Homo-oligomer: A and B are copies of this chain.
Amino acid sequence: MISFPPGEYGTLKVPEATIIRLSLYSRFLQQLIEKGVTMVMSAEIASGTGVNAAQVRKDLAYFGEFGLRGVGYYVKELYRNVMTILGLNREWNVVVIGAGNLGQALSLYRGFSSRGFKIAAVFDTDDSKIGQKLHDLEILPISKLLDFADKNPFEVGVITVPAKFAQKVADLLVLSKVKAILNFAPVVIAVPDEIDVRNVDLTVNLELLTFKMGLKNPQHTP
């Protein structure tokens, strides 16, 4: 559950799964806008995103009354509301630390810019990488991070360095006044409470598949 401070949505607790689905809905709504669709029913959002209609209504109801009973939702209005809920009604500056394969893949990932995430810089310690270009991004030396942050404040730091360097990088990001960290290093990092950390474990996605396959193919189980 993600609980958030008293504010626009009171002190509601919202399941993380709801936020993930809101992200799905917003992509579907964006497609509808591109097609010129103006109204949509929850059943259509449901079938377009593979979620059941009751869940769609429940997810949206956490944040208020957006639809008209029997008529549905205004697509553009709902899209704008969902994007605002997701914090995507603005641009976020993102810095990637670690220009290995994963760091490069993330830095060049087109999906980010379309959702308002701007990769502001990529840092590494490897002299052979520093100065290289990833499209129009130059790989900068990690020693320049604090200086860069001073001149170009950023909100999100993405850690893609090996586990043993992750805490050191996290400490530098804290000094850089980062607000949130996405950590791909397979290690728990310690940061002050006010900084949100999300650990991404790429293996977990495979394990959600093998959980199901293991059940379907019990003959493989020793």
Contacts and interface: CB of A to CB of B under 8 A. Distances in A.
Interface of A: 2, 4-5, 7-9, 16-17, 19-20, 22-23, 50, 84-90, 92, 94, 100-102, 104-106, 108-109, 111-112, 115, 117, 155-156, 179-180, 182, 186, 188, 196, 198, 200-218, 220-222
A70 B146 CA distance: 50
A203 B7 CA distance: 25
A180 B156 contact: no
B182 A209 contact: yes
B201 A89 contact: no
* Copies of this chain, whole number: 2
B218 A7 contact: yes
B9 A210 contact: no
A207 B94 CA distance: 12
A207 B23 contact: yes
A23 B5 CA distance: 29
A209 B222 contact: no
Contacts of A201: 23, 111
Contacts of A86: 207, 210-211, 214
Contact of A218 (B2, B8, B16, B211): B8
Given A23-B204, A94-B206, A112-B206, 5 more contacts: A101-B104, A105-B105, A112-B203, A155-B213, A182-B209
A104 B100 CA distance: 10
A203 B4 contact: no
Given A9-B215, A90-B221, A196-B213, A111 B203 contact: yes
Contacts of A155: 213
Contacts of A196: 209, 212-213
A94 B108 CA distance: 24
Contact of A205 (B2, B84, B200): B200
A48 to B, nearest CB: 9
Contacts of A101: 101-102, 104-105, 108
A217 B22 CA distance: 20
A92 B2 CA distance: 34
